Each structure stands twice: as structure tokens, then as C-alpha cells.
Amino acid sequence: MGYETLILEKQGPIALIKMNRPPVNALNIKLYLEMYDILCELEADDTVGAIVITGAGEKAFAAGLDVKDVANKSVAGILDFQNNVPKKCFEKLTGIAKPTIAAVFGLALGGGSEVALCCDLRIASFDATFGLPEINLGIMPGSGATQRLSRLVGKKLTASASSIELSRGKS
């Protein structure tokens, strides 16, 4: 099946999914729906042993939600979107029986961080920057990032910073 916002490559038992919306791989409704479909396809494919998710281009793994998708929506519309589109995708990514690996470089913000947090393993380049910038606008991350992040790094670290920067010599 062809995808508009994702690139799927299979190399032996490894499936590589690239979010393909450069330069920052902003997450839109189509990408979330296609990722759900691709995960269902890969889950049913007995030749696939592991799934790696990354971004296309050189700037970002994924810089979060494409705000054009929700710019003209009411609060109820945004909540409906959040509960039905990213949530479904992230539940599939979290629950898939095959190992999932996020290969993170550049920006992994908002929904991009959530994609990485849903994977079983995260491998980050030295230039990777993880963050949940929506909290600076008084908006809660809507797809479980606050719970996933605190389970991964601990409540004390989660409460002390709104973002985690991984670079040479910093943690």
C-alpha cells in the first residue's frame, strides 16, 4: 500500500518507517491515520521482527502537531481530534507485539516526543532535543506523554524540566 506522509522500507526482518513531512515532519491527521494503518500492516506481517521509526530529512524526527490541523477547531473539536486520532495511533504503537525503536535526531517535540515515548526503545543522536513545549502555553500534552515520561525518567526529573536536551556532555 502506498502512503503519502510515510515511507516504509523493509530490510530483512526490520521495517523502517520514516515520517515524511520535511523539513520538520509535523504530525497531521493523515500521518497519524497512515501510521496506524502501517502499524496494523506490520503487526500482521510475519516476516517483520522489529519496527524502527524515524523522520525524513535532516532537521527533525518530528516537531509535533501541524497546528493547521486544529487552528480553526473549537475546544470540543480539538478534544475530539485528540481522543480519536493521535490516541488511536499511540495506543497501537504502544501495544504492538513487535519491538519498536525510535531513531531520534534533531527535534522531537510535542507529538514527536510522544511517538518516541510510545516506542519500546529510543536511540537518540547527540543533537536530539526532546520537549513538550505545549506546557509553556498552558496546554497539557494530550496523548499520555506526561504519564509515559514520568514512568520512563522518574517523577522528580519530569517535574524539574519541561524538556530534556540530549547533547554531548549534557543529560
Lowest mean pLDDT among 15-19, 53-57, 74-78, 86-90: 74-78
How far is Cα 60 from Cα 80, in angstroms, rounded to an integer? 27
Amino acid present at 128: A
Name the residue with higher pLDDT: 81 or 101: 101
pLDDT tens, 29-49? 899 999 999 999 999 999 999
The residue extents of the domains of the chain are 6-165
- In angstroms, rounded to a whole number, what is the distance separating the alpha carbons of residues 25 and 21? 4
| Helix (H), strand (E) at residue 26 | none
Q: What is the average pLDDT across 72-91?
A: 78
Q: Which of 4, 9, 91, 134 is flagged as catalytic?
A: 134
User: Among 3-12, 44-53, 75-84, 160-169, where is mean pLDDT lowest?
Assistant: 160-169
The mean pLDDT value of the chain amounts to: 82
Domain 6-165 is of which CATH architecture? Alpha-Beta Complex (3.90)
Residue 133 vs residue 86, higher pLDDT: 86
pLDDT score recorded for residue 143: 63
pLDDT-based confidence at residue 149 (cuts at 50, 70, 90) = low
- Is the pLDDT at 139 greater than 70, yes or no? no
> Is 4 among the catalytic positions?
no
In the prediction, which pLDDT does 9 show? 97
Using pLDDT thresholds of 50, 70 and 90, give the confidence band for residue 151. low
How high is the pLDDT of residue 156?
A: 55
Which three three-digit cell numbers place residue 171? 543529560
H-run or E-run covering 43: helix 29-44
- Return d(Cα 13, Cα 22) in angstroms, integer: 27
C-alpha cell at 55: 523522520
Give pLDDT tens digits for 48-77. 999 999 999 999 999 888 877 767 777 777
Q: Which member of 4, 41, 58, 114 is catalytic?
A: 114
